[in-house]
Amino acid sequence: MIKLAVPVLHVTNAAAAQEFYCGKLGFHLDFAYRSDEAMADPCYMGLSRDKAWIHLSSFSGDGTGGGGALFRVDSVDELHAEFVVKGVAIAMEPVDQTWGTREMYVKDPDGNSLRFQC
């Protein structure tokens, strides 16, 4: 039985990624692992917001930039308003899709697509 899936997205700069995800999107840093604590990168970190988890890695071999993650949310429009106030660039404004969902897309500094859907 599968119980949970946690997307792992590749980032090139852990500090910039943490600032974007925590400072702009409201995630919290749960852990950060560095093989050399004196260096900012490479880093593998776990972030969470509400009941959603995501992992980011700047270690080589942990994927490539341009990945994606889908987050199911209560209200795309409320999240959109929060992000706009924080200065987040919205890649796709909230839209009602023909398949019955309402969605908004945001890109992180590495081009990973974050899709918010209700």
pLDDT by residue (tens digit) across 87-97?
Answer: 999 999 999 99
| Residue 63: band (very low, low, confident or very high) from pLDDT cuts 50, 70, 90 | confident
For residue 106, is it within any domain? yes
For residue 3, is it within any domain? no
The pTM assigned to this predicted structure is: 0.94
For residue 94, is it within any domain? yes
For residue 44, is it within any domain? yes
By residue range, what is the domain housing residue 102? Answer: 8-117
Q: Which CATH number do you get for residue 59?
A: 3.10.180.10
Judge whether residue 64 has pLDDT over 90.
no
As for how many domains the chain has, the answer is: 1
φ/ψ of 44, rounded to 5, equals: -120, 120
What confidence score (pLDDT) does residue 109 get? Answer: 95
Q: What is the C-alpha separation between 100 and 25, in angstroms, rounded? A: 25
Q: DSSP 3-state helix, strand, coil percentages of the chain (rounded to 5)?
A: 20, 35, 45
For residue 2, is it within any domain? no
What confidence score (pLDDT) does residue 113 get? Answer: 97
